[in-house]
Amino acid sequence: MLRRFSLLLGIALRHISKRKRQTLVAIAGVGIGVGFFLAVSALMIGSQNDFVETLIDAAPHIIISDEIRSPTPQPAVLAFPDAAVEVRHYKTRNEVRGIKDWQGIMRTIGARSDAVASPSLSGAVTLRVGGREEALAIVGVEPGIEAQVSDVEQYLKEGRLRNLETTQGGVIIGEEMASRLGVRMGDIMAATSARGVTRTLKIVGLFERGRGQFGGSSGYVLLREAQSLTSQPFVINRIGIRLDDPYAAEDIAKRLEARYGYKAESWQERSADFLSLLVTRNVIMYTVISAILLVASFGIYTVVSTSVADKRRDIAIMRSMGFSSGDLQAVFVMEGFTLACIGVLAGWALGFGLMQVLGGIEFNIQGSTETIPLDRSFFQYAISAGASLFSAIIAAWLPARKAAQVDPVDILRGAV
Amino acid sequence: MTPAPLIRAEGLTRVLAVEPPVTLIRDVSFEIRQGEFVAVIGPSGCGKSSLLYLLGLLDRPTEGRLFFDGEDTTDTDGNARANMRLARFGFVFQFHFLLPEFTALENVTLPMRRLGRLADREAAARGRDLLGAMGLDGQEHKTPDKMSGGQRQRVAIARALANDPALILGDEPTGNLDSVNSARVIEIFHDLAAKEGRTIVCVTHDPEVAASAHRRIHMLDGRVERID
């Protein structure tokens, strides 16, 4: 079987080597298709991964907040589910906002080895420096835990998150806010909450400009500080969770919500609109790229079908020698397949080269040097090869069937 | 005791399914014994070649049966027929029909490698021997376009002998050769029949070939006119 295969392959290779120009054109077609497939998909997937990474890490993977998606069912409705009772316009109890039994939730998450949870309380205060006033949304956190859950630390231009613990009344605000108030690191401000509590806060850190979610008008303080400023001791209203596997977020969020009733929002839910955009982008990309590979296989079709047409005489003589029609079909499929294999290798080299060029381009964004994010995974090489070889087999198989159908008697009769 | 017939044709008929149908062979019956050199002769278009293709299992009869070595080959499938051609038949055509991309030796070893009975090295050795026996020493690595018509025809005969066939089928094997080369081919065929016991069936216009054959099947309009 192996010997027969190598014999037929040898015949196929001999045929190919005698028609150099067509062979080169077909190989170039596949090569260019595969090369650009790799370059384009590296760009698209690379930028997508970069983007998704930013999406994932911009905030905790799951955020449990003290909101409830639908009001708690009324006891009367629960007691008589099938009764003709409808309760409308009822008044809900005016609860203290905050997550009840948050310690329980923390313990549940703490029991998992792949997750870290950080409790926080957000509220609002008014900052006052001299004659100026600014509203500030404060987030009270445990710095040690929060640093594990979000990327806050990365976006600090000055100071560190830990400074909140070491300095009494420490606060971290954005650079924009600081310049509006005319304050700098180490300056002291007065903060008054809606409940009328007033404290002095000292700036122990500044967020970089342009980090929307942190800068602008929000600031970080110690959790205890936030609780006492808003007069809500022991209360928290948000739990941020970071997972080792961000893609498990959706599933875990659902289970947490089902168990505790509080809204648990995964990053996927938060960015559903972006994610659906990415799906559309991928569909477009793979459609275009597949079309390139498909067109490349036309070259193989042409080579194989001319080869079959040119070799009708040889097909007849081989048939008379005792080669079966299956043998001859195999010879011509192998011709196409060999061309595709060489084309794929050339395409890999081309794609690799294009990626090197693209990856070497540097550009400046707001002072920092960046390169184009590229996905250089082996997976793309495998997909491009798989798709090309598959289409090549089809492209070669169609004309190769004709080789199998050649009736040697027709050829011999015509020649003699 | 006469040897059993190698080929037995019983009422072979071949009709081309075109409109109107063309009858190439009409009710042909004969027997050929092992070691015989038989010439099939007749005017152009009398069905000589068509009969040869039927005997060589390249074509199927519309009616009648064909036995080879006692076996009924009429209803065998394509692969079985290909294997039969590979292992037991050798063809020699008028226009030598070598594969142009392959050297003389490669052309000769191709059927051996396809059959797979010999290792590649043994096949090459046998190929050299066969070419040597045809007087083609030193020509092994030439491609067909570098050889003369007579040399090519001898390569084709060597190739026909590759798998030690019982039956050699020639379709005008001398039709394209000068008298010297023709005589040589006729001599080779006689040696193959007499010394190696191979059976040879040759379609020919060449009176030399016809005269030297043991028997002649005369055909006319698709029928066997007489056998002498």
Using a CB–CB cutoff of 8 Å, tell me whether B116 touches chain A.
yes
Q: Which of A17, A321, A325 sits opposite B110 (nearest CB)?
A: A321
Q: Is the pLDDT of residue A105 over 70?
A: yes
* Chain A residues within 8 A of B85 when measuring between CB atoms: 319-322
pLDDT-derived band at B107 (thresholds 50, 70, 90) equals: very high
pLDDT-derived band at B1 (thresholds 50, 70, 90) equals: very low
In a domain, B64, yes or no: no
Q: How far apart are CA B99 and CA A318, in angstroms?
A: 8
Q: What is the dihedral of CA A92, A93, A96, A99, to 10 degrees?
A: -60
- Count of domains for chain B: 1
In a domain, B6, yes or no: no
Return the residue of A nearest to B57 by Cα.
Answer: A320
Q: A85-104, pLDDT tens digit by residue?
A: 677 776 665 455 788 888 88
Q: What is the mean pLDDT of chain A?
A: 86
Q: What is the CATH number of domain A100-236?
A: 2.40.40
Domain range holding B92? 35-59+75-227
Binary contact (A319, B58; C-beta < 8 A):
yes
Q: Is the pLDDT of residue B43 over 70?
A: yes
| Domain boundary assignment for chain A | 2-56+274-415, 100-236
In a domain, B196, yes or no: yes
pTM score, two decimals?
A: 0.73
In a domain, B159, yes or no: yes
Q: What is the mean pLDDT of chain B?
A: 87
In a domain, B29, yes or no: no
For residue B130, what are the CA distances in angstroms to A11, B35, B124, B155?
Answer: 22, 20, 10, 9
| Helix (H) / strand (E) containing B22 | strand B22-33
Give the single-character DSSP code of A96.
Answer: P
Q: B127-170, pLDDT tens digit by residue?
A: 998 898 888 888 889 998 898 888 888 899 899 988 989 899 98
The answer to whether the beta carbons of residues B162 and B127 sit under 8 Å apart is yes
pLDDT-derived band at A212 (thresholds 50, 70, 90) equals: low
| Domain containing residue B126: CATH number | 3.40.50.300
Binary contact (B59, A324; C-beta < 8 A):
no
Binary contact (A321, B171; C-beta < 8 A):
no
Tell me the shortest Cα–Cα distance from B58 to chain A, in angstroms.
Answer: 6
How many CB atoms neighbour CB A330 within 10 A? Answer: 22
Q: A213-270, pLDDT tens digit by residue?
A: 665 788 899 999 998 888 888 888 889 998 888 888 889 999 888 888 888 899 888 8
In a domain, B3, yes or no: no
Per the listing, tokens 């329980």 go with A104
pLDDT (mean) for A386-410:
89
Q: Which of B49, B83, B113 sits opposite A413 (nearest CB)?
A: B49
Within 22-81 of B, beta carbons closer than 8 Å to A belong to 49-50, 53, 56, 58-59, 78-79
Q: Is the pLDDT of residue A187 over 60?
A: yes
Q: Is the pLDDT of residue B186 over 60?
A: yes
Binary contact (B99, A326; C-beta < 8 A):
no
| Helix (H) / strand (E) containing B219 | strand B215-220
Max intra-chain CA distance, chain A: 112
In a domain, B66, yes or no: no
Q: B50-82, pLDDT tens digit by residue?
A: 889 898 898 888 988 888 888 888 888 888 889
Q: Is the pLDDT of residue B224 over 80?
A: yes
Q: A123-142, pLDDT tens digit by residue?
A: 889 998 888 888 998 889 99
The answer to whether the beta carbons of residues B160 and B84 sit under 8 Å apart is no
Q: A284-323, pLDDT tens digit by residue?
A: 988 888 888 888 888 889 889 988 998 888 898 898 888 9
In a domain, B188, yes or no: yes
A414 vs B34, more confident: B34
pLDDT at B34: 87
